[in-house]
Structure 1
Amino acid sequence: MMQISSDPASNKHSLLNVMHRFIAAANNMDETIMVPSLLRDMPLEEQAAGVLEANNNNNDEPPCPNKQRDMYEHYLLLKSIKNDMEWGMLKKEMSSGASFLEIAVKQEEQQQQPVTGGLSLQDNADLEHQFHYHLRGLFGVLSKLTLQADHLTNRYKREIGGGNFMR
């Protein structure tokens, strides 16, 4: 008979595991990158490949202005997301800065109608659908962020020449 572990963190497909992997990758990135300012003006490899492809296709669309322009901005974004995950919005509220998460929650609260009484069966099914939709999205985003943090760490080691040091 197959047994299911009662510890959600031991399941490699659990949300907690995906979150821990991202936080571990971001911590490793932060420990490895001793001088983050060296990342300034160092273009992201993906961005450079996208520009070359756009030029080859004779596409005159400008690059997306919301993307990070260099590895330093990407590093700061990954650190900020990790801090938001670890500390939540309370830290942002105390420092009076607004995160994307805080803005999204406030917008969602404004769009929702006041709750009246119990939820119907239809509403419960909709909540379950919304939950699974957002859970899949969260898994995807955290997996991509983990890969990006690992990539940034490895690229920093390659560029700085610290790929062979031991800690």
Structure 2
Amino acid sequence: MQPSDAKLYRNSLSRALRSYSAAVSDMERTILVPSLLRDVPSDELRDCEESRDLYESYQMLKAIRTSAESSLGSQVERKVQAGVSSLEPVLDAEGLFHFHLWGLFSVMRDLTVRTQNLTEKYKEIIGVAD
């Protein structure tokens, strides 16, 4: 991986984290009474065995943001600043790195969409239209 690639990934990951963080911040500003979300089923988890209401989703999305901001961002920064040469000796390791990085982007996009959907659902519950 070239240094320019590392910078691109760092910027893209930072952008994905900022986008998710902004969506959660918007959710928190919009949802003034989170308890209204209790017992409202979550559409995103219809395929899961676990039954989660929107309040639990709200709490989970906030916790993920806190965790991502405090640990994930700093871990990625440390790895990029240390240089990605530690990933270059084994081609398989580089491929694995790319695979997991794109997986992380996918998860961040999914969490951002879920956060935005929850915010919109809350607006529907309280009768606020855009």
**1:119-138 matches, cutoff 5 A:** 124-138=90-104
For residues 162 and 134 of structure 1, what CA distance do their matches in structure 2 show?
39
TM-score, normalisation: structure 2: 0.73
Aligned to 2:14: 16
Matching of residues 76-95 of structure 1 within 5 Å: 76-88=59-71
- Percentage of pairs with the same residue: 40
Residues in 1 aligned to 2:100 and 2:106: alpha-carbon distance in whole angstroms: 10
Rg larger in 1 or in 2? 1
1:72 aligns with 55
Amino acid at match of 1:128: E
- Contact 1:29–1:153, Cα closer than 8 Å, also in 2: yes
Tell me: higher relative CO, structure 1 or 2? Use CA pairs within 8 A at least 6 residues apart: 2
The question of whether the paired residues in 1 share the 8 Å contact of 2:17 and 2:69 is answered with: no
The alignment's C-alpha RMSD in Å is 2.6
Q: Runs of 4 or more off by more than 4 Å in structure 1?
A: none
Q: Contact 2:37–2:54 at 8 Å: present in 1 too?
A: yes
Alignment of 1:35-114 (within 5 A): 35-47=33-45, 50=47, 64-65=49-50, 69-88=52-71
Alignment length (residue pairs): 110
SS of the residue 1:34 aligns to = coil
Give ranges in structure 1 of 5+ residues lacking alignment: 51-62, 90-118
